[in-house]
Structure 1
Amino acid sequence: MVDEILSPCRNVCRVSAAGDLCEGCGRTLEEIGRWAAASDAEKRRIVSAARERLRESVRPESRHRPGEGGT
């Protein structure tokens, strides 16, 4: 039996300011729309890409903020 590819949806459905990405799961609106018809391979790709987008969105910025030291 093949394991089902579960949706990365977290029920935190908020569209980014740019209007193209769910801030809860990291999928694009296009990926969300085609999820039900996607093959298992496509679902794996979507999950992987969404996970990476979320990782990138929470990485600390390398810039110094005013008053935090640094030069």
Structure 2
Amino acid sequence: MSIEAIKSPCIKVCAVDGETGQCLGCGRTLKEIGGWVQLGPEGREAVMAKLPERMDHLRALGKLGPVK
């Protein structure tokens, strides 16, 4: 039996912004972070597709996030 590693955008900077509800490290919400394993590959890819725009929004608000 093979276990495939679960891809995650986590960069170990776990701080959720109170205004947006998004992690300043990866852009996910607490609900998305907590349910990451249960989402399945398609669900995780759907969330991952939203993250670049979320991180750009956090930067535009002057929040800290990873540098591209």
- CA gap 1:60/1:22 in 2 versus in 1, 3 angstroms: closer
For residues 1-71 of structure 1, the aligned pairs below 5 Å read 6-18=7-19, 20-59=21-60
Unmatched segments (≥5 aa) in structure 2: 63-68
Identity of aligned residues (%): 34
Corresponding residue number in structure 2 for 1:69: none
- CA gap 1:45/1:15 in 2 versus in 1, 3 angstroms: same
Q: Is the 8 A contact 1:9 1:25 kept in 2?
A: yes
CA–CA separation in structure 1 for the residues paired with 2:30 and 2:46: 15
TM-score under structure 1 length normalisation: 0.68
Unmatched segments (≥5 aa) in structure 1: 62-71
Higher relative contact order (CA 8 A, sep 6+): 2
For 1:14, give the aligned amino acid.
A
For 1:41, give the aligned amino acid.
E
Q: Which structure has the greater CA radius of gyration?
A: 1
Give the superposed CA RMSD.
Answer: 2.4
For 1:45, give the aligned amino acid.
A
* Post-superposition CA distance 1:12-49 (Å, at most 9, x none): 00110237211110001111011011111110011111
